Amino acid sequence: MQSFHVPSGSMEPTIMPGDRVVVTKIGAGEVERGDVIVFDGTDTFAAADRTPFASDGVIGRTLSAIASTLSIDLGEQDFLKRVAGVGGDRVTCTPDDGLQVDGQPVDEPWLERGTTACDTPFDVTVPQGRLFVLGDNRGDSADSRAHLGDPGGGMVPVDDVVGHVAWRYWPLDRIGGLGDHAG
């Protein structure tokens, strides 16, 4: 398990800025559509800013885990998003048809009422070993859609997944699981 501080509103209303969550570690085959995950985006979403981090190496990873538990920011590029597609999926979205995976509409109860699934249409096929991720706050999320033209096409390597968001422990009035918003 590992603790993370949520700095942005990209996952509102499911997870709010300032929330603190606990993430359970998972294996590569354990990621499914709808999961809320934390992943290391230093080589994908933040590749241009990649520099060696304190968490590189065994000792560094141990110290990084301790720092994360204490909410000490090491400047790494961890992201929290929802999995929309896994390897082999064709993920499409249009303002009229909404989000679809392999031609089937995706029910997204986590989207705030009145939120459109996408403003800009896309049609991608997710390579094996990769994930296509979206923020629940579609209008304010730099997710896979924002990186479609980047090397890797905005797809997150499964090996970069830190784990599933298990529960929120801060603020106290919102402590608990993600409920219907979990996926």
Query: Where along the chain do its domains lie?
Result: 2-181
Read off the pLDDT of residues 8-45 as tens digits, 9 standing for 90 and up: 999 999 999 999 999 998 765 689 999 999 998 887 77
Length of the chain: 183
pLDDT for 98 equals 94
Q: Tell me: the pLDDT tens digits for 67-110?
A: 555 555 444 588 999 999 999 999 999 988 999 999 999 999 99
**Sorting pLDDT into bands at 50, 70 and 90, what band is 56?**
very low
The predicted pLDDT at position 54 comes to 42
**What whole-number distance in Å separates Cα of residue 75 and Cα of residue 116?**
32
Contact 161, 41 (CB under 8 A): no
Specify the CATH number of the domain 2-181: 2.10.109.10
Active-site pick, 64, 81, 141, 144: 81
At 156, is the pLDDT very low, low, confident or very high (cuts 50, 70, 90)? very high
Report pLDDT digits (tens) over 160-182.
999 999 999 999 998 998 865 54
Q: What is the mean pLDDT of residues 104-122?
A: 91
At 148, give phi and psi (nearest 5°). Answer: -60, -35
How is the beta sheet containing 122-125 ordered, strand by strand?
A: 104-105, 98-101, 90-94, 122-125
Q: Can you give the pLDDT at residue 1?
A: 83
Q: Give yes or no: 25 in active site.
A: no
The pTM (predicted TM-score) of the whole model is 0.81
Q: Tell me the residue type at 120.
A: T
How far apart are alpha carbons 54 and 11 in whole angstroms? 27
The yes-or-no verdict on residue 60 having pLDDT over 60 is no
Strand locations in the chain, DSSP E?
Answer: 2-5, 20-25, 36-40, 78-86, 90-94, 98-101, 104-105, 122-125, 130-134, 156-157, 161-170
The pLDDT of residue 133 is above 70: yes
pLDDT score recorded for residue 69? 57
Residue 82: beta bridge partners?
A: 36, 134
- The per-residue pLDDT for 58 is 55
How high is the pLDDT of residue 55?
A: 43
Based on the residue annotation, tell me whether 144 is a catalytic residue of this protein.
no
